[in-house]
Chains A and B, each alone.
Chain A
Amino acid sequence: MGITVEGARKRFGDFQALDDVSIDVPDGSLTALLGPSGSGKSTLLRAIAGLETLDAGTVTISGEDATAKPAQKREVGFVFQHYAAFKHMTVFGNVAFGLKIRKWSKAQINDRVHELLRLVQLDGLAERYPDQLSGGQRQRMALARALAVEPQVLLLDEPFGALDAKVRKDLRTWLRRLHDEMHVTTIFVTHDQEEAMDVAGQLVVMNEGRVEQSGSADDLYEQPATEFVMSFVGEVNRLGEHFVRPHDMSVALDRDDGAEEAMVQRIVALGFEIRVEFVLGDGTEVWAQLTRAELQKLELRESQIVYLRPGQTKSFSGDVPPPDGDGASTPQRQDGGDDAEVSAAA
């Protein structure tokens, strides 16, 4: 059940939008397709909806092969980034569209539309035209329209992308709650990792037409399978072949074996979180995420020389042995150690 895509390929001219993509979305789940623009996430979503035909591969919806079915027959609800509201119809007309196509009776349509408008908190605006609604209201109308026909799956293509930050946050919470109530298998596309982690139970990270990794937000954050996932999901510093999260950087004032000498470049207070930027001896720029209390304890100031010890690091190249918890691997350290001292002192 749910949605399965196997071996999907799609090429637009010279551009390979999907390159052998397979995903498995469990029935009733809320899954995010996360990736930068051009990663193929929207194309994959549109292929599931039948709005794009695949060059190769299969799409299975609720156990049924939908590859050859036109969009019209797939029973999916699709929500577009720019709403795709029927501008010449009222809110009521928009939500009723799919039901009219299915030849429901007037009374049935009336009941169902008003039920949905209550659900998306648009009751009272049934007679308005899309032009008379705000962006958030239009997107909720589009969602009601998609849900009206009781689709097997709900597909949302960057649904909050055109909305301002505040409305986006509200709708996010609201979508999650809606999914808890409705349990319809939902996939939504986003390039915003925070949004994906906030809303979805399962994430599929895509890059350059391929799936990099899928799993829960914790899986992706704690055990990223590739360098791309590590740097796309959450913040990361790169130290040679190793990657370390900014909150895993410990800062000490005293020289310490295995710690790296660095100079404080800039201290940025972002509310509770403090972002401290350093430059290492070899010119590498890294930053650490500290709390306000930590900063006060250290009394850091700009141009100060400190010693950084990366906590948990991760490496994705096969040649470098995975570093143990005590610190970063030694070869790199020896490379830049002397230089660092010199330049830091200068």
Chain B
Amino acid sequence: MTSSTPAKWGLRSLALGYLGLLLLAPVAMIFYKTFEHGLGPPIEAMTSPDALHAIWLTLLMVAVAVPLNTVFGVGCALLLVRHKWKGNALIDGIINLPFAISPIVVGLSLFLLYGNDGWFGPTLSEWGIQVLFSTPGMILASVFVSLPFVVRETVPVLQEIGTEQEQAASTLGANVWQTFWRVTLPAIRWGVAYGIVLTTARVLGEFGAVTIVSGSISGETETLPLFVAKAFEQFNEEAAYAGAIVLALLALTTLLLMSVGGRKAKAQGGPIPITGDTAISTSNTKEGS
């Protein structure tokens, strides 16, 4: 059943209007505000030592948290799908915790665990490891909040491909490792890639948990979102907008990298990623950034 043309156009404009009002207008406003007086002021704002440090620290979070969660996520998905076990339901539930718990609460719980009165805090500081108000704590917070994405995106794809390709590989002489790299991973790569994009977006934009554990010390423990928040509070609007633009650009770059990879695979005639997935990833990551 196809709806009549006026109805179709009506629905389309409604959807576009809604998205425009809720998503496009605020983003456009930030772009407009940032470049209101040309390129000079935002560039100046973003090249201050504190801003550069915030960018660097944000990229460091991504560089550590994303690979960690990718390796863990793929391994965990394999465990959940390929090795049926009673404890799987429990693991599955625990993985969803970061979705269920507010980031602020995550930050608080880390604070309790690693603070001077916490379980691990005293022992770790004896060994000279400072977790709170420093990079390790911020990495912990970032890993925590972005943990489920790769698992959640990989599990359905693994279920979808089934086990026959892997069995075929083993009868052809491939060991477990060879089967994983040559057969399983290429088959699930779009799910994993989508999970990575979501993880990256989440880590880039993470505010709540990181605020609590970092103490938000300028030039030391301030990531880009914290930098933006602080600049905004101090009425340094130029820096706030410019920082927001940099965050948006970083997220866009991630998306672009993924869709370039996808187009390459398409050009080679390879299987096209599940189109629904890529379509969703585009919209989702924009929200995330």
Contact = CB atoms under 8 A, between A and B. Distances in A.
Interface string B136-170: 00000000000000000000000000001101111
B14 to A, nearest CB: 37
B113 to A, nearest CB: 43
B183 interface: yes
A87 interface: yes
A182 interface: no
A149 B173 contact: yes
A187 to B, nearest CB: 13
Contact of B171 (A49, A87, A102): A49
Interface in A29-83: 49-51, 70-78, 80, 82
A98 interface: yes
B168 A84 contact: yes
Given A51-B167, A51-B170, A78-B167, A86 B183 contact: yes
A72 B183 CA distance: 14
Interface string B242-283: 000000000000000000000000000111000000000000
A70 B173 CA distance: 10
Contact of A87 (B167, B174, B182, B271): B271
A112 to B, nearest CB: 13
B13 interface: no
A338 interface: no
Contact of A129 (B164, B165, B168, B270): B270
Nearest to A151: B171
Contacts of B271: 87-88, 129, 131
A150 to B, nearest CB: 11
Nearest to B171: A78
Given A86-B183, A88-B187, A101 B171 contact: no
A145 B170 contact: no
Given A86-B183, A88-B270, A88-B271, A146 B169 contact: no
A287 interface: no
A72 B171 CA distance: 5
Contacts of B171: 49-51, 71-72, 74, 76-78, 146
A80 B164 contact: yes
Interface in B180-204: 182-183, 186-187, 189
A102 B174 CA distance: 9
A307 interface: no
Contacts of A75: 173
Given A86-B183, A87-B271, A131-B271, A149 B164 contact: no
B230 to A, nearest CB: 46
A88 B186 contact: yes
A84 B164 contact: yes
A146 B168 CA distance: 9
B172 interface: yes
A97 interface: yes
Interface in A98-114: 98, 101-102
Contacts of A131: 271
A101 B169 CA distance: 9
B175 interface: yes
A98 B173 CA distance: 6
Given A129-B271, A131-B271, A84 B165 contact: yes
A101 B187 contact: no
A12 to B, nearest CB: 13
A132 B269 CA distance: 9
Contacts of B236: none
Given A71-B167, A84-B165, A101-B178, A149 B269 contact: no
Contacts of B182: 97
A145 B270 CA distance: 19
Contacts of B183: 86
Contacts of A74: 171
Nearest to B161: A87
A88 to B, nearest CB: 4
Contacts of A87: 165, 187, 271
B175 A72 contact: yes
Interface string B26-54: 00000000000000000000000000000
A80 B200 CA distance: 39
A155 to B, nearest CB: 8
Given A87-B187, A131-B271, A101 B164 contact: no
Contact of B170 (A71, A128, A142): A71
A98 B172 contact: yes
Interface of B: 164-165, 167-175, 178, 182-183, 186-187, 189, 269-271
24 contacts: A51-B167, A72-B171, A72-B173, A72-B174, A72-B175, A74-B171, A75-B173, A78-B168, A80-B164, A80-B168, A84-B165, A86-B165, A86-B168, A86-B183, A97-B169, A98-B174, A101-B173, A102-B173, A127-B269, A131-B271, A145-B168, A146-B171, A146-B172, A149-B172
Q: Across chains A and B, which 5 residue pairs bring their CB atoms closest together, nearest first?
A: A98-B172, A84-B164, A84-B168, A78-B171, A88-B186
